[in-house]
């Protein structure tokens, strides 16, 4: 398998911190999630999720962020006041959320179910920022 360097780096970081990952998602599971959410995930998101379907259960990495499985993404989508926000990650047991906005490119932080602001231009950039604990994600 020829894996993109940013995915290898993310997997290595999570492995070093002993974060447990789910097995890869199937293409069918990704397509089903997209249909349910009425949203097409970007290619970098799909590439990672075809490698690991988020973190196991409610695992979190060393900086207290948890990447959700596709199933949890669907489950959590009903919780957001802004139904155009699609979360894929939370910080400190749902203190804030990181995700996509259906009508705008980029990655957003959604705080207190009210405020939303951009933190990255791409999913890969957001993963990198989360894994290095970049100040812009807090």
Number of domains in the chain: 1
Question: Is residue 60, in this structure, part of any structural domain at all?
Answer: yes
**CATH code (residue 112):** 3.40.1580.10
Question: Is residue 25, in this structure, part of any structural domain at all?
Answer: yes
Looking at residue 67, the DSSP 8-state letter turns out to be: E
Question: Is residue 113, in this structure, part of any structural domain at all?
Answer: yes
pTM score over 0.85: yes
Domain that holds residue 122: 5-133
Question: Is residue 28, in this structure, part of any structural domain at all?
Answer: yes
Per-residue pLDDT tens for 98-132? 999 999 999 999 886 566 789 999 999 999 999 99
Per-residue pLDDT tens for 19-75? 999 999 999 999 999 999 999 999 999 999 999 999 999 888 988 999 999 999 999
Bridge pairing between strands 65-67 and 104-111:
unpaired
Question: Is residue 138, in this structure, part of any structural domain at all?
Answer: no
């Amino acid at each position: 398998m020829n894996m993109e360097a940013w995915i290898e780096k993310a997997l290595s970081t999570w492995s070093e911190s002993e974060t447990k990952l789910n097995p890869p998602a199937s293409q069918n599971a990704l397509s089903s999630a997209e249909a349910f959410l009425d949203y097409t995930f970007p290619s970098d998101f799909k590439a990672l999720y075809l490698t690991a379907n988020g973190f196991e259960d409610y695992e979190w990495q060393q900086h207290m962020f948890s990447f959700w499985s596709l199933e949890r993404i669907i489950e959590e989508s009903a919780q957001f006041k802004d139904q155009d926000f699609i979360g894929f990650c939370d910080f400190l047991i749902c203190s804030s959320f990181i995700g996509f906005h259906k009508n705008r490119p980029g990655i957003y932080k959604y705080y207190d179910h009210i405020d939303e602001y951009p933190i990255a231009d791409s999913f890969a950039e957001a993963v990198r920022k989360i894994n290095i604990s970049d100040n812009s994600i807090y």
